[in-house]
Amino acid sequence: MPIYEYRCPTERTVFSSRRSMAEMDAPIACPSCGAPSQRVLSIVAPVGRGEREPVAAGAPAANGGCCGGACGCGAR
């Protein structure tokens, strides 16, 4: 099950909870004071093996980033 973050309006604290995707937007009680809390956007840090496949020289960026045509630097 995914982990979501919620903000308590009473204590102004953020806590996390494992919930199903069907329940993610439903209010949840703050574990400290019991106030109904709403889900907030989380900062996500991708976690991987740390291995990357080599990119061929001169290959455009796969995400459209710098030198992939979207940054406006003119390099292609």
List pLDDT tens digits, range 7-33. Answer: 999 999 999 999 999 999 999 999 999
More confident residue, 38 or 47: 38
In Å, how far are 5, 12, 35, 73 from 76, measured between CA atoms?
Answer: 40, 47, 54, 9
User: What global pTM score does this model have?
Assistant: 0.55
CA 10, 14, 18, 24 dihedral sign is: positive
Is residue 16 within 8 Å of 5, Cβ to Cβ?
yes
Q: What is the mean pLDDT of residues 43-54?
A: 69
Residue 20: beta bridge partners? none
Three-class DSSP category at 56:
coil
Terminal CA-to-CA distance of the chain, rounded, Å? 42
